[in-house]
Amino acid sequence: MTNSKKLSTRKLVIIGMMSAVATVIYYLDFPIPFLLPNFIKLDFSNVISLLGGFAMGPLEGIIICLIKNLVHLVIKGFGTTYGIGDIFDFVTSAFFVLVSATIYHRNKTKKGAIIATFVGMIGFTVISLPLNYFIVYPIYIKAFGGEAAVMGAYRELLPGIRNLFSALCIFNLPFTFVKGLLCSIITIIVYKPLSPVIKGAKNQT
C-alpha cells in the first residue's frame, strides 16, 4: 500500500470516528430552562466538526456534519417536521465549519484560529435568522398546531412578545450566537493538544 493510500485510509477512519463522536454529542443536547422554550436545545457537536475542519480541511469538516445529521435523521425519522431540524442544523453547521476552516487554513496560528472561528460564528448566527423565519418555523407551526401553539412557548417566558420575528430575534438569535461562541472557545482550547492525534504525529501543521 502506498503512502497516499495509507493517508487516505487513515483520513477516512478519522472522519468516521469523529462523525461517531459528533453524533453521540448531538444526542446529548439539553434545554435551557427559564431562558428558552424547551424545544430549543444546546449541543456541542460543532466542536467536533470544527476540529475535523481545522485538522483536515473544510470538506472533511462538512462531511462530519453531514454524517452526524444523516445518522440522527435515519434513527429519529422524518416525522411530522420532515427532518427540518436536522436539515437546518446541517446547513448552519456546515456554513460555520466552511468559513472557519477555510480562514484557518490560510493562517494556521492561534490568532488565525480566533479570527476564523469568530467570523464563522457571526455567519453561523446571521444565516440562522432567515432560515428559521422563512423555512424552519413555518414547518414547525404547521406540524405543532399553528402559530399560537409555538408562540405560546415564547410567551410563557416573555408575555409581551408580539410576533414570531420578535421571538426569533430576542431568543433564538442570542442563543445561536452563544452556542457558536462556546463551540469556538472549546475548539480553540482543545485543538492544539488534539491535533497530533487527529492528523498523526508526523503530519502536524
Residue 118 has pLDDT above 80, yes or no: yes
Q: Which residues form the domain of 127? A: 8-199
202 falls in which pLDDT band (50, 70, 90)? very low
- Residue 138's domain is classified under what CATH number? 1.10.1760.20
Q: Is pLDDT above 60 for 127?
A: yes
Q: How many structural domains is the chain composed of? A: 1
Residue 67 maps to a domain: yes
- Evaluate if residue 143 carries a pLDDT over 60: yes
Domain membership of residue 2 (yes or no) is no
118 vs 112: CA distance, rounded Å: 10
Q: What is the pLDDT of residue 18?
A: 98
Which one-letter DSSP state was computed for residue 109?
A: S
Per-residue pLDDT band for 7 (boundaries 50, 70, 90) equals low
CB 184 within 8 A of CB 120: yes
Domain assignment present for residue 147? The answer is yes
User: Tens of pLDDT along 55-108?
Assistant: 999 999 999 999 999 999 999 988 878 899 999 999 999 999 999 999 999 999
Q: What is the pLDDT of residue 78?
A: 85
Question: Residue 6 pLDDT more than 60?
Answer: no
pTM comes to 0.93
Higher local confidence (pLDDT), 119 or 76: 119
Within a domain: 53: yes
**pLDDT one-digit tens code per residue, 11-31:** 999 999 999 999 999 999 999
SS3 readout for 163-174: CHHHHHHHHHHH
Half-sphere exposure (Cβ direction) of 200: Cα atoms closer than 13 Å: 11
Average predicted confidence (pLDDT) for the chain: 93
Cell of 176: 445561536
